[in-house]
Amino acid sequence: MFATSISLDAIHSFSKNTIADHIGIEFLEIGTDYIVARMPVDHRTHQPFGILHGGASVVLAETLGSIASFLCLKDPDNQHAVGLEINANHLRPAKNGFVYGRVTPIHVGRTTHIWDIKITNEENKLVCVSRLTVAIVSANR
């Protein structure tokens, strides 16, 4: 499904000096139609009560979906994938360790992509479910 073949190292290099790098998101696996990453649950991603901040989960979800859309672009030199809408349902707290996000496609069209992102804890229990809509726009905008 992915039009662009890319290594985990290349994805990590895209993330240098971004929010994903700042909060410690690491890409772990790229399949034919999915990507897996993990994010630490620590002082960078906690909210004041010592649990994972919902906004950090949304950053993980949008990061995964945006990279997945980039990998689907037919002409990445002349197209950009930009977030259009995201929602997230936070199902259980996480206090420490890592959470893992897995992105899979719902719809990959010419002008929009819709992604399903499931975030789990180290016991593989759902922490958050998210849906991201990405617009595919001309890079000349």
Active site residues: 62
> Rounded to whole angstroms, what are the CA distances from 67 to 15, 47, 50, 92, 103?
10, 26, 29, 26, 10
**Residue 136 amino acid letter:** I
Whole-angstrom distance, CA of residue 27 vs CA of residue 140? 29
Tallying the residues shown for the chain, one arrives at 141
Q: Which residues of 111-126 are buried (b: 16+ CB within 10 A; e: fewer)?
A: eebbbbbbbbbeeeee
